Amino acid sequence: MSGGAGLPGEGRVGGTAGLPGTVTVHDDPAGVAAAAADWLLDVAGAAISRDRRSGDGRFRIALAGGSTPRALYALLATEPRRERTDWGAWEVFFGDERACPASDPSSNYRMARDALLDHVPIGPERVHRMEAERADLDAAAAEYGTVLAKTCPPDLPGSAPRLDCVLLGLGENGHTASLFPGDPALEVTDRWAVRSRADYAPYDRITLTFPVLDAAREVAFLVTGAAKGDALRGVIQGTVPAAGVRPSDGALHWFLDGAAAAAI
Ligand code: 6PG
């Protein structure tokens, strides 16, 4: 699908006009993955250059879970894109994690490892896994928030840790990360990661909170398939959790395929 100037496929198509931020629409999930991969490499390069001016040149990213981002991660892990970034500068976090062992097929960390992290030279000390297999999820979440605060300097003292990029998916009920409708985690403003509860197994989760999502420099949703139409409408109407993602002074992007865009 063609759009306006800028990113390939950029432009408002039908009902996407109500989505906040920039929207690009692509022919299919493979097109979404390719566009998001190229966009992410540019974001990483800019972040590394910016951070070299005041620090050691890191790119701090929170990866999305679920199934949609797998194709994006696989593209990053293979040529020609694999050689287009300094993997040693990447510092990897997660938007959320399911309460299961890291080796479990349901684990978002496992998915990212299989598709990306096992195939690129990011040091293990730069991959920060949410330890959602622990019995005390509150403690695990609090410790994760402390790691975030130590490694992602906030804009203002005491404010939310600032990531360079957050990747997000969108559930059919409008959840994102593991911020589910009606969950108390939606109201948290003074912690960076908390336990939450999903409406599908694995039910118990750890999730980043809105303050961290909104502090990020770049936030991108990857949404494919007609089944996400109701959720996208919920974002436009402000009736679902994903509508709460509003970067304070960062940029928000939607990478949609035609089926998702047409379903709005
Ligand atoms: C999770 C994800 C979740 C996901 C959406 C979309 O742990 O379930 O973080 O927020 O992004 O449910 O999932 P799909 O990409 O599989 O549609």
Segment 189-203, tens digit of pLDDT = 999 999 999 999 999
Name the least confident of 9-18, 133-142, 170-179, 213-222: 9-18
Query: Does 246 have pLDDT greater than 80?
Result: yes
Q: Which two tokens stand for residue 54?
A: 């005041």
Which ligand 1 atom is the nearest neighbour of the CA of 228? 17
Residue-averaged pLDDT of the chain: 95
pLDDT at 3: 37
10 Å Cβ neighbour count for 182?
Answer: 9
Total-model pTM: 0.96
Domain ranges of the chain: 14-212+226-243
For residue 144, the CA-to-ligand 1 centroid distance in Å is 20
C-alpha 169 – ligand 1 centre gap (Å): 5
**Model confidence at 46: pLDDT above 50:** yes
Residue pLDDT, tens place only, 85-124 = 999 999 999 999 999 999 999 999 999 999 999 999 999 9
Nearest CA to ligand 1 atom 11: 169
Q: Is the CB of 154 under 6 A from ligand 1?
A: no
Distance 118 CA to ligand 1 centre (A): 21
Residues 199-227 have a mean pLDDT of 98
**What values do phi and psi take at 219, rounded to 5?**
-125, 130
Tell me if 47 sits within 8 A of 250, measured CB to CB.
no
- Sequence-distant (6+) residues with CB within 8 A of 128 are 91, 92, 93, 94, 144, 147, 148, 151
- Domain 14-212+226-243 part of CATH 3.20.20.80: no
Cβ(259)–Cβ(226) below 8 Å: yes
Task: For residue 2, name the pLDDT band (cuts at 50, 70, 90).
Answer: very low
Query: Are the C-beta atoms of 178 and 170 separated by less than 8 Å?
Result: no
Are 75 and 37 in contact by the 8 Å Cβ rule? The answer is yes
